[in-house]
């Protein structure tokens, strides 16, 4: 069964796998630091109605599988997660702030991929067959003749 989430005017199931690494891929995430990063990520996600499905903090990177509301873009969520965790960790941990004196704990980029229960082919088939009586014109963006 699909677990759709609902908003005031929407029903959605938007899930993303997001990965980001420490700057220079340094293995600085001890158990204590990793636990603190996990706490911060949970706070940020809770504040923005993001559901964490699965997550893992490794020595030099973070994996997060989340369900996100439609008004939150992947880039905005990643910006919040990386920015707030970096700022807090650098404020609280003097060893980390000495190691990363440039105020950047995380590397510049990130990896993100969407996840779903329906394949691209199934969506295209569904769209193409919206009106079975309409003949396929070979166009990839058809219009239904409703007779109105």
**Mean pLDDT of the region 12-37:** 94
Q: What pLDDT does 117 receive?
A: 77
Cα–Cα distance measured from residue 15 to residue 43, given in angstroms and rounded to the nearest whole number: 18
Is residue 89's pLDDT more than 60? yes
Confidence class for position 138, pLDDT limits 50, 70, 90: low
Percentage with pLDDT > 90 across the chain: 64
Q: Kindly report, residue by residue over 28-53, the tens digit of the pLDDT.
A: 999 999 999 999 999 999 999 999 99
> Which segment of 23-32, 82-91, 119-128 scores lowest on mean pLDDT?
119-128
Question: What value, to the nearest 5°, has the Cα angle with vertex 112 and ends 126 and 7?
Answer: 60
Cβ-contact 67, 4 below 8 angstroms: no
> Which segment of 17-21, 64-68, 92-96, 113-117 scores lowest on mean pLDDT?
113-117
Chain mean pLDDT for the chain: 87
Q: What pLDDT does 84 receive?
A: 97
Question: What value, to the nearest 5°, has the Cα angle with vertex 16 and ends 13 and 21?
Answer: 165
CATH architecture of the domain covering 5-116? 2-Layer Sandwich (3.30)
Q: What pLDDT does 87 receive?
A: 95
Q: What pLDDT does 1 receive?
A: 43
Question: For 9, which DSSP code?
Answer: S
Cα–Cα distance measured from residue 78 to residue 95, given in angstroms and rounded to the nearest whole number: 24
Cβ atoms within 10 Å, residue 76:
12
């Amino acid at each position: 069964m699909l677990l759709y989430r609902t908003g005031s005017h929407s029903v959605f199931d938007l899930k993303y796998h997001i990965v980001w690494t420490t700057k220079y891929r340094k293995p600085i995430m001890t158990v204590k630091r990793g636990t603190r990063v996990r706490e911060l990520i949970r706070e940020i996600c809770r504040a923005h109605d993001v559901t964490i499905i699965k997550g893992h903090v490794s020595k030099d990177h973070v994996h997060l599988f989340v369900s996100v509301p439609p008004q939150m873009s992947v880039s905005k969520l990643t910006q919040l997660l990386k920015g707030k965790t970096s700022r807090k960790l650098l404020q609280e941990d003097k060893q980390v702030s000495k190691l990363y004196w440039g105020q950047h704990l995380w590397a510049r980029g990130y990896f993100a991929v969407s996840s779903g229960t329906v394949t691209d082919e199934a969506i295209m088939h569904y769209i193409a067959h919206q009106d079975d009586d309409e003949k396929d014109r070979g166009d990839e963006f058809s219009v239904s003749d409703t007779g109105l």
